[in-house]
C-alpha cells in the first residue's frame, strides 16, 4: 500500500490532536467494520470555527484524515465547514489508497456530527442545512471502494 508524504506526515505529526475543554460542540462517529472511532471537538465563536481538535482510535489513515480535516476547517464559518467533503480531505492529503477512503468518510462525518449537534442546540437547523447531514451513516461506495461499513449493505 502506497501512502503520500502528506498522509505520512499527518500520521507521524498529527495536528490538533486532543480535546477542547470548553468546546462549543463535539461529534463522535465510528466504523463498525474496521473499528475506527473519531471524536471531533469544535470551538465556535460568531459562527467561525476558531479551534478544532480530534481524538481518533484507528489506523494511520484515520489519524491523518482527522488531522487534515481539522486544519481545513479552522477559520471557516460553520456553513463553509459543512461543505468540506471526504474527497476534499483525501485530495488535501494527495490521495489515499482506495481501501482507506473510508477514513476520509469518517473525518467528514465527525465534522458534520459536531456541526449537526451545534445547529440543533442553537436552533440554527434549516432545511438546507438538514439536507447536508444526509451523508451521516452512509457512503457513496465508488466502484474502487471496499465495503466501508458506513451502510447496512
Which residue among 103, 139, 148, 150 is the active-site one?
103
- Clarify whether 148 is annotated catalytic: no
Is 139 marked active-site? no
- DSSP 8-state class, residue 17: B
Give the cell for residue 77.
464559518
Half-sphere exposure of 94 (CA within 13 A, CB side): 9
Considering 34, 139, 148, 150, which one is annotated as catalytic?
Answer: 34
CA distance 29 to 46: 26
Query: Buried (b) or exposed (e) across 68-106, using 16+ Cβ within 10 A?
Result: bbbebbbebebeebbebbbebbbebbebbeeebbbbbbb
- Dist CA 75 CA 81 (whole Å): 9
What residues are annotated to the active site? 34, 103
Amino acid at each position: 500500500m502506497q501512502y503520500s508524504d502528506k498522509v505520512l506526515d499527518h500520521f507521524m505529526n498529527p495536528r490538533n490532536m486532543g480535546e477542547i475543554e470548553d468546546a462549543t460542540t463535539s461529534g463522535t462517529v465510528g466504523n463498525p467494520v474496521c473499528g475506527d472511532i473519531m471524536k471531533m471537538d469544535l470551538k465556535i465563536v460568531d459562527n467561525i470555527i476558531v479551534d478544532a481538535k480530534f481524538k481518533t482510535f484507528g489506523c494511520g489513515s484515520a489519524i491523518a484524515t482527522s488531522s487534515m480535516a481539522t486544519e481545513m476547517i479552522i477559520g471557516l464559518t460553520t456553513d463553509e465547514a459543512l461543505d468540506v467533503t471526504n474527497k476534499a480531505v483525501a485530495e488535501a492529503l494527495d490521495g489515499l489508497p482506495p481501501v482507506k477512503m473510508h477514513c476520509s468518510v469518517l473525518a467528514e462525518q465527525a465534522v458534520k456530527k459536531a456541526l449537526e449537534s451545534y445547529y440543533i442546540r442553537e436552533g440554527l437547523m434549516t432545511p438546507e442545512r438538514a439536507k447536508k447531514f444526509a451523508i451521516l451513516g452512509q457512503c457513496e461506495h465508488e466502484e474502487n471502494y471496499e465495503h466501508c461499513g458506513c451502510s447496512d449493505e
